[in-house]
Every structure is written in C-alpha cells, then in structure tokens.
Amino acid sequence: MEYKLTDKEKSAREYVCLALDISDKEEIEKAVDELWDLVGCFKIHTAFTNHGPEIVKSVINKGGKVFLDLKFHDIPNTVANYAEAVTKLGVSYFNMHVSGGTEMMKAASKRVSEVSMGLNLVPPKMIGMTVLTSISKDVLNNEIGIEGEIEDKVLSWAKLAKESALDGIVCSAADLDKIKDKLPDDFFYITPGIRPVGVSHDDQVRVMTPSNAVKAGSSLLVIGRAIYKAEDRRKAAYEILQDIASVL
Ligand code: C5P
C-alpha cells in the first residue's frame, strides 16, 4: 500500500534504520525495494560477509542510506584503510570498537576527513562500540580483565570516542538517561532493542518502543524483526513512523 507521509512522518523516517538480517541477496533487495520510502537507512553486517561490497552499492543505488556494521578493531593504519574503503563505498555510518584505542579512532577519523574532502563526499558518521550488550560484568571483569561496572565503562568509552573525533556510539536506549547529560548535545546515539507495543521481543531482553526511544534521546533506531518479519512490512514500518511522529 502507498502511504502519503506528513512532514512529521517524513522526519520520523530519518530515525528508522532497518537491520537487514536476511541472508538471501534477492530477499535483501526485495526488502529494500519494498521499504526504502518508509525507512531512512539500512543496517548491513552479515549481508556484507555473504555478498560483499556489491550489496552495499545495490542498497545505495536503490536510494537507501547504509549503516555498515562491521565493528572494526585493528592497528591504526589498518582501521584507517578500512575507513577509507567504506567512505569511498558511500556508506552513511560505520563503526569501530572504542577498545581499539584513541590512536586507532583518530587515524580513522583523519582518513575519513581527507578522503571525503579529496573526493567531495559527505563524510560518514563514525560510531563507537562500547561494551557489547552480550558481555556480562563477570565476563568483563574476570575474562577480559577490565575492572568496574559496565555502565561506568560505557560512559568512559563514550567519552573516549568523543575525544577521538567519533560522532556517536551504539547503546541501549535504556542507558541514555545515565549517559546523555554527561556527553555533548550533538553526540549521536544508535539504539537497537526497539519493539512497538504488542510486538514479540524475540531474544531482546531490554526493549523500548520507537517513540519512547526517541523521547529518551536516540538519534537512530535499529529495527529488524519488528519490520521484516511482519505479515505486512509496509504497514509495520508506517505504524512505527506514526508512533515516532507522535512525539516530534
Ligand atoms: O530484530 P531486531 O530488531 O532485534 O534486530 C536488532 C539488530 O541490532 C540486529 O542486527 C542486532 O545484531 C543488532 N544489535 C542488537 N543489540 C546490540 C547491538 C546490535 O540487537 N547491543
């Protein structure tokens, strides 16, 4: 069905990033064709390992923005080389692990600026990964050997990302109230774990509705199964836009 978006729903669309957690290339392309006018961005990770840079180009050619979720972590020069490659590919967002250190993040940031200026491209936003939500305090402290509470580490790594010229972090919308006022206003927050009211939580433990996540200060909501597993994907995406628009 065709939906005529109001101005607020058009603004809401910019908050929605569809996680393309689909393995088949044709199915991915079908989802992009079906939904590009209702979602502002597409997150690609395993699709990249399955189909390579061509899948990123294909989504961009269809009019979608891409968040390339490859979570780089390596020596500074290597991550700068990755950053150059993804900037040339035309992605709008990509990420790296803050635990790779400030030198690594600064090297990536410097290369992104040089390449985008040289080629007259819009620089992608660089996003830091702090503590993965799959890591427990026990694993952080006793396996990885990092002391302290998870939320303190998330905040200190978010600050390190900011100091190293990254644009934002990935975190749970539920954590925003603890960290947002300690970081600059223009910092960018990408939040997964989003579920509209009445939709299955699947394996997500801490979830938030789209409108609550935006109210909490999310900049971009990563939403996967609530859209691509829906019986009517366009309707599911449109209802999410209506929900977000209600708080804009
Ligand atoms: O289907 P669902 O909306 O749960 O998908 C969420 C997406 O966000 C998946 O691609 C998942 O890998 C990603 N993600 C997450 N939790 C994190 C980081 C990323 O669910 N902490």
pLDDT in tens, 28-73: 999 999 999 999 999 999 999 999 999 999 999 999 999 999 999 9
Q: What is the pLDDT of residue 135?
A: 87
How many angstroms does the Cα of residue 154 sit away from the middle of ligand 1?
17
**Nearest one of 5, 67, 57, 61 to 219, comparing CA atoms:** 67
For residue 211, what are its two tokens? 């409108």
What is the per-residue pLDDT for 169? 97
Q: What confidence score (pLDDT) does residue 71 get? A: 98
Give the residue, by CA position, lying nearest to ligand 1 atom 8.
192
Return averaged pLDDT per consecutive 10 residues of the chain, 248 residues in all. Answer: 96 98 94 96 96 96 96 98 98 98 98 97 97 89 93 94 97 91 96 92 87 97 96 97 98
pLDDT on residue 132? 87
Question: Is 137 one of the catalytic residues?
Answer: no
For 32, left (φ over 0), alpha (ψ -120 to 50), or beta?
Answer: alpha
What pTM does this model have? 0.95
Which atom of ligand 1 is nearest to 229's Cα?
Answer: 1
Rounded CA separation 22/233 (Å): 14
In this predicted structure, what is the pLDDT of residue 41? 97
- Cα of 20 vs centre of ligand 1, distance in Å, is 10
CB 226, CB 236: distance < 8 Å:
yes
